[in-house]
Amino acid sequence: MIRVAIVDDHPIVSEGIVANVNADPLLAVVATGATFDDALVIAQRDLPDVLVLDLELGPRSGLDAVQQIKALSPATRIVVFSAYAGEDRVGEAFARGVDSYVLKGTASDELLAVIHAVAAGGTRIPAEIAGQLTRAARTPRRDRLTVREREILALLADGLSNRAAAERLGISERTVKFHVGEILARLGANNRAQAVAIAQTRGLL
pLDDT tens column, 60-71: 788 888 989 999
pTM of the model: 0.69
Domain ranges of the chain: 2-138, 141-201
Average pLDDT over every residue of 108-133: 87
The pLDDT value recorded for residue 51 is 98
Q: Which pLDDT value is given to residue 135?
A: 65
**CATH 3.40.50.2300 given to domain 2-138:** yes
The band of 52, judged by pLDDT with boundaries at 50, 70 and 90, is: very high
Contacts of 68 (CB under 8 A, 6+ apart): 40, 43
Q: What percent of the chain has pLDDT over 90?
A: 41
CATH fold of 141-201, please?
Answer: Arc Repressor Mutant, subunit A (1.10.10)
pLDDT of 152-168, one tens digit each?
999 988 888 888 899 99
For range 50-63, the mean pLDDT: 87
Rounded Cα distance, 92 and 63, in Å: 8
Average pLDDT over residues 78-92: 83
Q: How far from each other are the two terminal CA atoms of the chain, in whole angstroms? A: 50
Mean pLDDT across 188-203: 78
| Beta strands, E only, the chain | 2-7, 27-33, 50-53, 56-57, 60-61, 77-82, 100-103
| pLDDT recorded at residue 22 | 96
